[in-house]
Structure 1
Amino acid sequence: MKATKRPIQAVARWLRRQPPKMKVFLAVVSGLAALFFLRMVVHDHDNLFVAAEVVHSIGISVLIYKLMKEKTCAGLSLKSQELTAIFLAVRLYCSFVMEYDIHTLLDSATLLTTLWVIYTIRFNLRSSYMEDKDNFAIYYLVIPCAVLALFIHPRTHHHIVNRICWAFCVYLESISVLPQLQVMQNTKIIEPFTAHYVFALGVARFLGCAHWVLQVLDTGGHLLTAMGYGLWPFMVLLSEIVQTFILADFCYYYVKRWCSWWTTCSKAPRRSSVSYSALLR
């Protein structure tokens, strides 16, 4: 067991010693390597988008477990959950009227669980909700996304209202996690289950971004024209990339803390006081 842990410890220590620019370079290289791996392993790249929604659902399930087991919503952003419910509801509407498929079922399940989380925070666990820390004004996100959707949306054969709604949910999804990240910054504490949830969002966004990038490569760029003309195809890719980069920094520190936990446990395997939650604080 020690032989398998030592290389991980060495890599973790080496990464900690690297300057920021090298870390960024390594992150980009790792991302490209992951894209290449997914392209070789996953033959139908539409499955990546399904996988992204499944991972998102798993992240919501982690929150439900936290709320039911610990009976506290400390560290959670109600506003991020509300933004998630908004874009899921809009996307679900668009899915019903534009393309009813497996995504419709996954979005339905994720929306229902998100609404349950919102209800639990608002009514059952209101006393533990850090309202003073969750102070991001969501209209600063909703209104710009709505205005942007009015001007930049798909140029397909669907009704104009449906096309605007689809663009709105794409833009809002890309920044819906910002209130949650602000809560973490305001509290200076990363509660473990919340960390798992945000990390799941990061993985889901990477898979979603990989789906679009690989689809564009597979079609030789024809997918962009199939999605419509103008700025819309590029805004879809930009939205995916923006959300991926927003979460990339957190995911980096999440993995870094996990490596620190692994190293600490390997040094003191018999000490029951080694706490993962303490290392995330």
Structure 2
Amino acid sequence: MNAFRFAGDMSHLFSVLLLLLKIYATKSCSGISLRTQELYALVFLTRYLDLFTYVVSVYNTLMKIVFISSSIAIVWCMRFHPVVRRTYDKEQDTFRHYLLVGVSLVLALLFHERFTIREVFWVFSIFLEAVAILPQLILLQRSRNVDNLTSQYVLFLGAYRAFYILNWIYRYVTEDDYSAWIAWIAGVVQTGLYADFFYYYFISWKNNAKLQLPA
């Protein structure tokens, strides 16, 4: 494992910890899209079908368990926790996320290296992860004023994907016959979705002001 992938994993893990901190410390999920969290739960459940059948390393297995369990815990809290669920802004979080699921599934059926259940679901998870942040970004635009923990959560999610792109570039340069074009395309699309958010986050940080997104 190279430094770029490790930094990406840690950014991803930190984003999840920030979100859990926001929910459990404040007993609020205000500004968080349940639809994005449901998409991420589906991403991890379909990507890590080999959790108990194929072990790469203890580190790899632990990360799989952390991301599956944390994503399910977040969805459960937002749906069923007696206090947290009352703070969920259902009226603002209206993006039709099932369309993203459908499109990702069609793409996975069309573009894959081997037509097996595990491979198709893995490719599906790659495509779905690329666009899973869309409901969250749209919710932030609608609410405009974004609290610090929510903005940092999105920031570290974007950083995770940016580090992974550097990881892919590093591996392409240093490894023979390394190719992962499906993940590359999805990663570039995913990073591009964060561009607008990164711009306004940088402006707010530069001016030492609270993040505000344009309507």
Deviation at 1:98, TM superposition (A): 5.0
Any conservation in 1 of the 2:4–2:164 contact (CA below 8 Å)? yes
SS of alignment partner, residue 117 of structure 2: helix
Structure 1: unaligned runs, 5 residues or longer: 1-43, 225-232, 262-275
- The aligned length equals 209
The reply on whether 1:259 has 2:206 as its aligned counterpart is yes
Aligned match of 1:71: 27
Q: Which residue of 1 aligns with 2:90?
A: 131
Over 3 Å counting, the alpha-carbon distance change for 1:150 and 1:197 in structure 2 is same
Asked if 1:153 is matched to 2:100, the reply is no
Runs (5+) with no aligned partner, structure 2: none
Task: Give 1:200 deviation, angstroms.
Answer: 0.5
Query: How far has the Cα of 1:99 moved from its partner?
Result: 5.2
Residue equivalent to 2:49 = 93
Residue 123 of structure 2: aligned partner: 167
Give the distance between the partners of 2:6 and 2:62, measured in 1 at CA: 11
State the TM-score, normalizing by the size of structure 2: 0.90
Distance, in Å, in 2 between the alignment partners of 1:72 and 1:170 is 29
Paired position in structure 2 for 1:111: 68
What SS does the corresponding residue of 2:29 show, helix, strand or coil?
A: coil
Q: Deviations over 1:18-40 (max 9, x none)?
A: xxxxxxxxxxxxxxxxxxxxxxx
AA paired with 1:148?
L
The 1:150–1:83 alpha-carbon spacing in structure 2 relative to 1, beyond 3 Å, is same
Question: Residue 144 of structure 1 aligns with which residue?
Answer: 103
| Residue 249, structure 1, aligned to residue 196, structure 2 | yes
Tell me the percent identity.
Answer: 28
> Is the 1:191–1:280 Cα contact (8 Å) retained in structure 2?
yes
Q: Return the offset for 1:249.
A: 2.2
Contact 1:92 1:104 in 2 (8 A): no
1:121 to 33, 57, 78: 78
How big is the alpha-carbon RMSD for the aligned residues of Structure 1 and Structure 2?
A: 1.8
Distance (Å, rounded) in 2 between the aligned partners of 1:119 and 1:95:
21
Which residue identity lines up with residue 59 of structure 1 in the other structure? S
CA contact (8 A) 1:88 1:169 kept: yes
TM-score normalised to structure 1 length: 0.70
Mapped pair 1:184 → 2:140: yes
Structure 2 partner of 1:32: none
Which shows bigger deviation, 185-194 or 87-96?
87-96
Q: Which has the larger share of helix?
A: 1
Query: Is the CA contact (8 Å cut-off) linking 1:80 and 1:180 kept in structure 2?
Result: yes
Matching residue of 1:266: none
Bigger RCO (CA 8 Å, 6+ sep): 2
Mapped pair 1:238 → 2:194: no
Letter in structure 2 aligned against 1:64: L
